[in-house]
């Protein structure tokens, strides 16, 4: 869609909002038009108005959460997506958005939880496999992280080079700790004093 047609779409939905200011659908569609243009502040305003008018417009909650995520308002994004999930629990995009917010809030356990939920709903979601791997690595579940990363790659997701390096280092450290740790019996024998 060209820039002119996107601008036309914004103008069309702005007129519709002016004609029907109490139409949640019109505000929602205006939010979509602003989102397409990358105008997250205007999109947020339109989505907020849509959910004020119709709190059961679940996709408006999800899109509000997405717009807030793009504005780096991670707590606001969580709250909007949690509201969407309260109203309809099987929304892949809402769980994924929450995982992304938790990623930036540095909450690895919740990142893992959200991406596991995404994969319960859509087992072939490439990005969810990757971000599950990120969370698993952050929680020292290295082998599971490798498996999730491999699954993401098999689905066409390109893992970041920095992540792959971190995963390799974690695997090497795991192998090193396995080869240098001694059994309890060996440690006891080695520490025994001669009488």
Instruction: Note the helical H segments in the chain.
Output: 3-19, 24-36, 40-53, 58-70, 74-87, 92-104, 108-121, 126-138, 142-154, 161-180, 184-191
How far apart CA 80 and CA 116 sit, in angstroms, is 20
* Cβ atoms of 111 and 134 closer than 8 Å: yes
Q: What confidence score (pLDDT) does residue 5 get?
A: 75
Domain coverage including residue 5: 1-105
CB 125 within 8 A of CB 118: yes
**Is position 2 within any domain?**
yes
- Answer yes or no: is pLDDT of 75 > 50: yes
Residue 174: give its domain's CATH number. Answer: 1.25.40.10
**Is the pLDDT higher at 16 or at 187?**
16
Question: Looking at the domain assignment, is residue 131 inside a domain?
Answer: yes
Q: Does one domain contain both 93 and 117?
A: no
pTM confidence score: 0.82
Task: Select from 80, 50, 4 the least CA-distant residue to 42.
Answer: 50
Show which of 105, 121, 145 is a domain's final residue: 105
Q: Does residue 65 carry a pLDDT above 70?
A: yes
CA torsion through residues 18, 22, 23, 28, sign: positive
Residue 192 lies in a domain: no
Same domain? 61 vs 153: no
List pLDDT tens digits, range 36-51.
999 999 999 999 999 9
């Amino acid at each position: 869609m060209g820039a002119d047609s996107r601008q036309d779409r914004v103008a069309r939905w702005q007129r519709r909002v002016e004609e029907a200011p109490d139409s949640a659908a019109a505000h929602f569609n205006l939010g979509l038009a602003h989102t397409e243009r990358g105008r997250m502040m205007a999109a947020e305003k339109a989505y907020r108005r849509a959910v004020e008018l119709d709190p059961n417009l679940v996709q408006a909650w999800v899109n509000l959460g997405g717009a807030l995520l793009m504005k780096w308002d991670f707590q606001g994004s969580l709250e909007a997506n949690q509201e969407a999930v309260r109203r309809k629990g099987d929304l892949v995009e809402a769980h994924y958005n929450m995982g992304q917010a938790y990623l930036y809030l540095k909450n690895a356990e919740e990142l893992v939880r959200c991406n596991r939920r995404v994969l319960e709903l859509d087992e072939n979601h490439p990005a969810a496999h990757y971000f599950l791997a990120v969370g698993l690595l952050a929680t020292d579940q290295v082998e599971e992280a490798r498996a999730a990363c491999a699954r993401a790659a098999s689905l066409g997701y390109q893992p970041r080079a920095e992540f792959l390096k971190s995963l390799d280092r974690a695997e090497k450290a795991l192998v090193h700790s396995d080869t240098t740790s001694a059994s309890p019996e060996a440690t006891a024998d080695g520490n025994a004093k001669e009488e």
